Amino acid sequence: ISLVHAITARLKIEQVFKYYWTVVTGLALLSLVLAWYGF
């Protein structure tokens, strides 16, 4: 049971990191575009 829990916990952490990096990268690119156009 603990092995299954460890695997699912690791998958959830990987999903969180994937979501975090996509959001942060998107916001960074958006801020760079806005800064480039002078906003």
Q: Could you write out the DSSP letters of every residue in 1-39?
A: -HHHHHHHHHHHHHHHHHHHHHHHHHHHHHHHHHHHTT-
pTM: 0.52
Return the residue matching tokens 């049971």: 1
Domain that holds residue 20: 1-39
Q: Which two three-digit tokens encode residue 37?
A: 């156009």
pLDDT digits (tens, 9 = 90+) for 1-39: 688 888 777 878 888 888 889 999 999 999 999 999 987
Domains identified in the chain, total number: 1
